[in-house]
Structure 1
């Protein structure tokens, strides 16, 4: 589905991360992949993923550092002159604000969570737009907590709701250029990021018991949907949140 396509994958933390599952699916479908790592401390965990998927580049990208983002897109422009799809799979919230009540969230914590988890997607979309001259696909990652109050997900619920809302706006604004924007909404998966959520084991158990298929989804299953949405086979799909949760979202 993605032969001769070039994609940027942002958010690989290690081999168990959702972005890693997506990168593997993109590669299986024939795409050339650029993978980023946040810093040198993260690089040893990301490099094996990049090698496994045959990434053509592994570049540093701390989304709070504008110069690094410019360097990534300059490198893509210099090597290929285009970008066909982009995956943003990034979320962060200071621990104290993540574990506290929404009403107690600090202004600083709220701003940081929104900047890294939501506004960074807009920054990447803006940088990708001129490289998607023949159209393209922008993907980001949310969670059911954007739609309903999920215990212990706390401030990340409103932050992910904002991410889904801005994605719909991106879809409308960039649609005339043939650029689609969609949200992946996986069920709970045991990733490093998820380990920071209180009671996550209970959340996984609840999702397993409530899902029609009585199971959790895998990063490979998320990746398969991501690859489809990145491809021309999903040419008619934009501004949409796609649940990959074994049907958990259909039940109260």
Structure 2
């Protein structure tokens, strides 16, 4: 089983939306989708006013669908999509994979789709799920991984799990993807979504602009949880250094990033 990190949408000139493509025994699995082909065809309706601030590059070659084709795979083989959350830059490609089962934390689905508050109604883009995707939702129980609440997704990929990472949105989650035990270069990956924006926020050895924290809090729907989630991810990354890669969606460095 291989894990590919792909840039599926570029914002503000150089910020990627990092998506994982997992080659699983029963088909392809995506972690998030980035923006999709329909978003590019109709950005006003599907991305809304926030597109003016985020300035997405509307390039079809950057969609998950086209990235998968370019890698020599058939996009119709995407069987499952696991979401970190439901912001437009993470779910826009859902409609490009209408046959995929979509896995999401129940709390995220509730506040985005069923009972959105004023702020969620303006933040989330209903057009992006108007095609009627098959959502499967999960409530955390007693399962724990490295101290985090998790919901196992072994029925998608053995060893995969939804990881509770509160802060950015209500119901925001990370996705743990197991590496290939037979390949030392294929370590486990935790896609932390928007739980942090730049590596330096969880790794003190890496510099980063302090202003990013201000931006993060402005965009957070649960700001009281942001610092604790950072601290827990920092401790995890240090504790599992060498056998776990903790990545986020918009850091321009690393695989799937945007060259400077």
Query: Per the shorter chain, which TM-score range?
Result: 0.3 to 0.5
TM-score, structure 1 as length reference? 0.37
Write 1 or 2 for the structure with the bigger share of strand.
2
Write 1 or 2 for the structure with the bigger share of helix.
1
TM-score, structure 2 as length reference? 0.36
Higher RCO (CA < 8 A, seq sep 6+)? 1
